Chains A and B, each alone.
Chain A
Amino acid sequence: MLQNIFFGLSLGAVYSLIAVGFALVFNILKFSNFSHGGVMSFTAYAGYYAYIRLFDGHVSSSWMFFAVVTTAAVIGALTAVAIERVGFRRLRRNQAPVIYYFISSITLGILLENIITIFASSNFYSYPVFFSSDNLSLLGTTFSVADVVTLLVSSASLAGLLLVLYRSKLGLAVRTVSFDVNTASLMGIDADRVVMATFAMSGALGGISGVFLGMNYSLYPQLGQLVVKGFIASVIGGLGSITGAVIGALLLGIVEVALIGMVGSGWMPACVFVIMLVFLLVRPRGISGVIVQEKA
């Protein structure tokens, strides 16, 4: 039982990184950013190539993980900023309805996935082993070092993010813009810059999740389709709420693992659907309880 909860939590930790990257953009532009999946695939490969071309043999193995994660985060941030520039800047200028952002983001996601397919799709690749693969055990549960690192890095990046959001000027600006873009611009906030910064943060998180996915699983172009888990988690969590997304992701992880135990993996999506529906009917505000103001 305890073991299963732990499995659920560590799965949820992976989901939560995805969900938060997702929720950040929702927070500001109020749309589900499916290009995030593309960013994850892209950075997973970028991290791998950085390892092969730059670091292998130059960086000591204990620092390798941080070197790769940092590179991936930086590349993720740059990719996300580029995506914002190409896919969303003009839409914002045109005051296009939110749905257009969504369409644009799906298209960009497909685009990124296919760019990877063209350049790196004749073989499978994998990251080197960063950590000892020995098991640790605690209170009758076993887990791996990679699990612990995943949990630690997820928590650290989320903490860092919350710090930026709630303790810095930029964070204040982000929160203002998320409340109302137009008013924020009137107050002298450079909305473009804030949106860009948000995308950069989201992209950096995407980069980190990309490396984790590549490290825990293996590299293939469709890796980023796990973004749907982030989508579910962040919607359940309360749209746009960061803490809600984290709780939603952890819950999703635990529920999935529990359902596999009870009904088997085959029926899991059907059960998740029913649970989701019931939950949304009972608590239409999501977990966080904050509702994003929607005036149609």
Chain B
Amino acid sequence: MDYIYSILTLTGITMIGVMGTYMVTGLTGQFSFGQAAFMAVGGYVSAMLALRFNLPFPLAAIAGSAAAMLAGLLVGVPTVRLRRDYISLVTFGFGEAIISVLNNSAQLTGGAEGLVNIPKRVDLPLVLGSVIGCLLLVACYKNSKYGRQCLALRSDELAARSMGIDVNRLKLVTFLFASAITGYAGVLYAFYAQYLEPGYFNWTVSAEWLIIVFVGGINSLTGAMVSALILSSLPELLRFASAWRIIIYCVIVLIIINYRPNGIFGDWEISRLWKKSAKGEKA
């Protein structure tokens, strides 16, 4: 059972991380290529506070998310003014920069050898609860005024601007929100795995999250979540194929991208099941 639990727990954490990517990419159409760095910030800050100052877990968790948000502010303020392609570069560079800072401050962070002895404070129920909580937050955000503005922004930035939407501010707010959520995923990860290393948070993780969002359907939060559930447990299910499993994984992703150009779910949301009269849902 521990096997299933560990898959579910880690998948849940990935789902929260993917929510951050979904907000940045799915809602505002920005392209964050260093989202995992916010996870690193959240994880490292909370773990170090707990280890060095004996901060209780809830406070450490809040501090971790807040730190990730602060990092989001640092990156967000200059980047929202940039062109879309540059944002992927800048977020990518930010991810590399965070890793280099973590490797360089070995006295504090343990450097490349990693941070050990983080107390175990996270289990499956907490992760499940967190997934639901974060999901509600993100869903509310998507259905709020901001969420709708985001959709306008994503389909046509120029038009959104001329409608009087403060595009830069909107992007920044969403980016901050996403950073905090991703940071929280990092907190959960740190206190579950009990071990952190800088190398884990490199751009390939961010890229995996992007793949998940697109496979699920860029317009659909439900899609992103279902796809996170499937794609992050898929490599486990494919273990019987041993060395070939990543190849099979890639082929499945390619097939979906090629044959379901809007992702598995398109813009369908699960809330439609109970909101039959979803007039404004159409994006």
Contacts and interface: CB of A to CB of B under 8 A. Distances in A.
A280 interface: yes
Contact of A277 (B90, B156, B244, B259): B90
Contact of B203 (A102, A111, A228, A236): A228
Contacts of B78: 277, 281
Interface stretch (A39-47, A62-70, A93-101, A141-149): A93-101
Given A281-B81, A294-B83, A296-B156, A270 B247 contact: no
A154 B143 CA distance: 53
A106 interface: yes
A48 B198 CA distance: 33
A241 to B, nearest CB: 12
Interface in A22-62: 32, 34
Interface stretch (A72-80, A114-122, A185-193): A114-122
A272 B95 CA distance: 12
B271 interface: no
A47 to B, nearest CB: 22
Interface in A257-296: 266-270, 272-274, 276-277, 280-281, 284, 291, 294-296
A276 B89 contact: yes
A235 interface: yes
Contacts of A273: 90, 93-94, 96-97
A32 B85 CA distance: 9
B147 interface: no
Given A32-B88, A114-B247, A267-B100, A107 B157 contact: no
B230 interface: no
B85 A117 contact: no
Interface residues of B, number: 48
B211 A103 contact: yes
A46 to B, nearest CB: 18
A118 B244 CA distance: 8
Contact of B258 (A90, A117, A296): A90
Contact of B211 (A107, A236, A239, A276): A107
B31 A110 contact: no
Contacts of A236: 89
Contacts of B211: 103, 106-107
User: Secondary structure of the A side of the interface?
Assistant: helix
Contact of A276 (B93, B154, B155, B251): B93
Interface in B65-95: 78-79, 81-86, 88-90, 92-94
Interface in B233-262: 243-244, 246-247, 250-251, 253-254, 257-259, 261
23 contacts: A32-B88, A87-B258, A90-B258, A99-B25, A103-B214, A106-B210, A111-B247, A114-B246, A228-B92, A235-B86, A236-B89, A266-B104, A267-B100, A268-B100, A272-B96, A272-B97, A276-B90, A276-B93, A280-B89, A281-B78, A294-B84, A296-B154, A296-B157
The 7 closest A-B pairs by CB, nearest first: A273-B93, A273-B97, A111-B250, A269-B100, A270-B97, A269-B96, A296-B157
Interface of B: 25, 29, 31, 78-79, 81-86, 88-90, 92-94, 96-97, 99-101, 103-104, 154-158, 203-204, 207, 210-211, 214, 218, 243-244, 246-247, 250-251, 253-254, 257-259, 261
Interface of A: 32, 34, 86-87, 90-91, 94, 96, 99-100, 102-104, 106-108, 110-111, 114-115, 117-118, 228, 231-232, 235-236, 239, 266-270, 272-274, 276-277, 280-281, 284, 291, 294-296
